């Protein structure tokens, strides 16, 4: 399996998790169910398309870019986890609404993609990174203006849709 396919599978898996975990209230029940079903179908499409295109192509043993999963990648991932869990602890200590956690996670995950774009020499991954960062920031603003009930949709479901859409686009483009 190529590093690119692994990245698409991880992105689509997390995108699906974002949608499954956040497509509830205040959305009407049927809308939440429909979004969850679409997310799972999109995940399946990424898996099928990704593996079909991965098998078709080139020999991937030498295809990984230098540093694909090297020390700089590791540093970004360690920083991401520290920011996610440290930030959630701070939000909890500040008595922030529970819904703001998903906004914080989306913001940090978005920044992680932006940081990885130059490391991996893949400018295209900065696009979902910027979108996720914006959706996370929007959720943080929503918490500040007492609109917390919609944070799971904006920062969770829409972020999941960005990850799934980007992964499906990447799988189909290969």
Instruction: For residue range 41-99, list pLDDT tens digits in order.
Output: 999 999 999 888 877 655 455 554 455 778 999 999 999 999 999 999 999 999 999 99
Please write the tens of the pLDDT for every residue from 104-154. 999 999 999 999 999 988 888 999 999 999 999 999 999 999 999 999 999
Burial class (CB in 10 A: 0-12, 13-18, 19+), 126: middle
pTM score: 0.89
In the chain the first and final C-alpha atoms are separated, in Å, by 13
List, for residues 58-68, the tens digit of each pLDDT value: 545 555 445 57
**Which tokens in the block code for residue 112?**
């992680």
């Amino acid at each position: 399996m190529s590093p690119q396919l692994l990245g698409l599978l991880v992105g689509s898996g997390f995108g699906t998790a974002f949608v499954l975990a956040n497509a509830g209230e205040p959305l009407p029940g049927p809308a939440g169910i429909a979004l969850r079903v679409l997310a799972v179908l999109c995940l399946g499409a990424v898996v099928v398309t990704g593996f079909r295109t991965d098998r078709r192509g080139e020999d991937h043993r030498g295809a990984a870019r230098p540093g694909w999963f090297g020390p700089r990648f590791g540093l970004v991932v360690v920083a991401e986890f520290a920011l996610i869990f440290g930030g959630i602890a701070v939000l909890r200590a500040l008595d922030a609404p529970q819904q703001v956690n998903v906004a914080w996670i989306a913001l940090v995950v978005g920044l992680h993609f932006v940081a990885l774009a130059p490391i991996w020499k893949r400018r295209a991954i900065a696009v979902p990174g910027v979108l996720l960062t914006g959706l996370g920031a929007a959720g943080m603003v929503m918490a500040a203006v007492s609109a917390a009930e919609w944070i799971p949709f904006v920062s969770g479901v829409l972020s999941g849709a960005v990850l799934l859409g980007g992964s499906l686009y990447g799988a189909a483009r290969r």
